[in-house]
Amino acid sequence: MLENMAILDVEKVIRDFEAMTKDAENVQRETLKLILEENECADYLQNLGLNGRTDPESVKVCVLLVTHKDLEPYIQRVADGAFPLILTGKPITTISLSSGTTEGKPKFVPFNDELMETTSQICRTSFAFRNRKFPIENGKALQFIYSSKQTKTEGGLLELQPPMSFAICRLLVREEIQMVSSTFAHSIVLAFQTFEQVWEELCADIREGVLSSRVTFPSVRSTMAELLKPNPELADLIEKRCSGLVNWYLIPELFPNVKYIYGIMTGYMEHYLKKLRHYARDVPLISADYGASEGWIGANINPTLPPESATYAVLPNIGYFEFLPPQENIEEHMQDKVNGSFIAVEPKPVSLTEVKVGKEYEVFITSFAGLYRYRLGDVVKNTEKDLQLTVEEAAKLIAGEKLEVVDFSSHADVSTDPGHYVIFWEISGEVSDGVLQECCNCLDRSFVDAGYVISHKVNTIGPLELRVLRKGTFQKILEHYLGLRGVLSQFKTPRCVGPTNNKVLEILCDNVAKNYFSTAF
């Protein structure tokens, strides 16, 4: 990877980026035109009444804002191998399985060569800005790559699933390593947590030049047999470094010339920053670029900012972007009254150059892979909708006893390592311990987000905890809200209680009658 990036003219990449973003409005219009011209013969676009028009104004009139649910029948036809050009002007050859969820299920997303090119462009752009601040010379990268068994859809298309496993072989060239990276921060943390447990065994492998029987994949064993030769000097060095560590500042101790650590570190991954900083000591952490399973959006062009403050610049030529203020929910279209009757009104998103600094927006994308005015939605985290569906599924276990969940909330408890989700339930009557334990297990199993399930299996998320509350707990939360001069008609039970909502979290925790930990995984 570093060898390929090293041939880039970094300053030219940055100049091109700056010129393009200064002319963002025209670039966006040209990008939309290109997308629509390339895909005008697609079934989906044929019936929308565009009649060859490609300007943003016509698109807003003819093409509705959509969610994955709206496009799911079209995407399923593609996945099933339907011959006609359903969403794009060229056949879709690959279907990606998202790590987010739609109504509790991972979703199929079309992937094509054009998206591969936008991925390359994002990588080149962010690398150029990183390399300006942290120059990479001739060297190697330590990348933790998790892979899984690849499957095919009924139509014979390759199905790319989230990574599942990793391999490490860079200790042999430890002084050449200049960057440590993985897609997600938790993968890096997991790798070094594993190293803490097996470093003595690895030293033995290096000393003897023979791979441990722990590794069973024939292809890995044969490859390592060619690379691994007896090296007692290196084994002694690693053993000396590790045996003398008290705080396990592993990364700079093992790889003294590493310049930064790179991966997705925002959102759901922020939980792992504390542990990652521990391993990294003074090595800078740089958050990777911003995107979703459906496509990339922006590059991190400010690599010196800490992950918690990361900002991203939208590349105006990789898709056409629209931005909707969050109060204008697409699923609850605003209503206007005309001649005494209510009619639905399409929400009015703004263009890339119309967004205002400091405001929050939801992103909609028109991509080269057949998504038109598409709501991106969640990426890797469990949403309130997921939580609602999960609680409803588990509550069925007490419905037979004519009991119900009066109200519920949740909290991401990061005071433990690994962190875990806590679900708070207030129930209308008494339930046996056995049933409540099964409810807890059901809650945990019902979160089907691929990232959540994988994190469970690799122990980067702990077992879900169900805390059963005393009767009247949510009434106390309501009273607290009213005490802050809140209006009763505007009160909404907080479904996800963050660390800054101290008082509500205190009320919940002080009123726990019983608690249960999942044994589902």
Comparing 39 with 190, the larger pLDDT belongs to: 39
Burial of 434 (0-12, 13-18, 19+ CB in 10 A): exposed
pLDDT in tens, 63-109: 999 988 899 999 999 888 876 789 999 888 888 766 433 333 457 88
Q: Which pLDDT score is estimated for 165?
A: 30
Comparing 496 with 254, the larger pLDDT belongs to: 254
Q: Which two tokens stand for residue 52?
A: 């060859």
Q: Which pLDDT score is estimated for 521?
A: 82
Residues 6+ apart with CB under 8 A from 116: none
pLDDT in tens, 127-171: 999 999 999 888 889 888 755 444 455 655 544 433 223 375 788
Contact (Cβ atoms closer than 8 angstroms) between residue 88 and residue 110 = yes
Pairing of strands 420-427, 465-469: parallel
Q: Work out the number of other CB atoms within 10 angstroms of the CB of residue 364.
A: 23
* CA–CA gap between residue 37 and residue 29 (Å, rounded): 12
Confidence of residue 13 (pLDDT cuts 50, 70, 90): very high
Q: Which pLDDT score is estimated for 387?
A: 79
CA distances from 481 to 305, 468, 478, 491 (A): 36, 21, 5, 8
The residue ranges of DSSP E strands in 236-304, in sequence order, are: 260-264, 285-287, 290-292, 295-299
- Plot region of 445 (φ>0 → left; ψ -120 to 50 → alpha; else → beta): alpha
DSSP class per residue in 174-202: GGGEEEEEEEEHHHHHHHHHHHHHHHHHH
pLDDT at 212 over 50: yes
Interval 209-230 mean pLDDT: 83
Contact (Cβ atoms closer than 8 angstroms) between residue 65 and residue 347 = yes
Give the helix ranges, DSSP H, for 314-399: 384-399
* CA–CA gap between residue 443 and residue 425 (Å, rounded): 11
CA angle 433, 435, 436 (to 5 degrees): 65
Q: Which pLDDT score is estimated for 343?
A: 53
Interval 211-232 mean pLDDT: 83
Interval 329-335 mean pLDDT: 48
* CA–CA gap between residue 67 and residue 184 (Å, rounded): 26
**112-121, 264-273, 337-346 — most confident range:** 112-121
What distance lies between CA 103 and its chain's CA centroid?
17
DSSP class per residue in 291-305: EETTEEEEE---TTS
Give the helix ranges, DSSP H, for 54-184: 56-62, 68-79, 113-133
Interval 461-486 mean pLDDT: 87
Range in 210-214, 422-426, 436-440, 474-478 the model is least confident about: 210-214
Q: Which pLDDT score is estimated for 501?
A: 82
Q: What percent of the chain has pLDDT over 70?
A: 84
pLDDT at 488 over 70: no
Q: Which pLDDT score is estimated for 224?
A: 82
Position 210: which residue type? V
Tell me the domain boundaries of the chain: 10-115+313-375, 139-283, 381-517
Burial of 438 (0-12, 13-18, 19+ CB in 10 A): middle
pLDDT in tens, 21-31: 999 999 999 99
* Numbers of helices and strands, H then E, in the chain: 17, 21
Backbone angles phi, psi at 488, to 5 degrees: -55, -40
pTM above 0.85, yes or no: no
Comparing 179 with 271, the larger pLDDT belongs to: 179
Interval 302-316 mean pLDDT: 93
pLDDT at 338 over 70: no
Q: Which pLDDT score is estimated for 378?
A: 38
pLDDT at 181 over 60: yes
Interval 343-353 mean pLDDT: 77
Of 91, 78, 84, 79, the residue nearest 38 (C-alpha):
91
pLDDT in tens, 385-401: 677 778 888 989 998 88
Q: Which pLDDT score is estimated for 158?
A: 44
Q: Which pLDDT score is estimated for 70?
A: 92
Confidence of residue 468 (pLDDT cuts 50, 70, 90): very high
* Distance between start and end Cα atoms, the chain: 36
Q: Which two tokens stand for residue 194?
A: 């594993």
Arithmetic mean of pLDDT over the chain: 83
* CA–CA gap between residue 179 and residue 309 (Å, rounded): 21
Comparing 194 with 463, the larger pLDDT belongs to: 463
Confidence of residue 424 (pLDDT cuts 50, 70, 90): very high
pLDDT at 45 over 90: yes
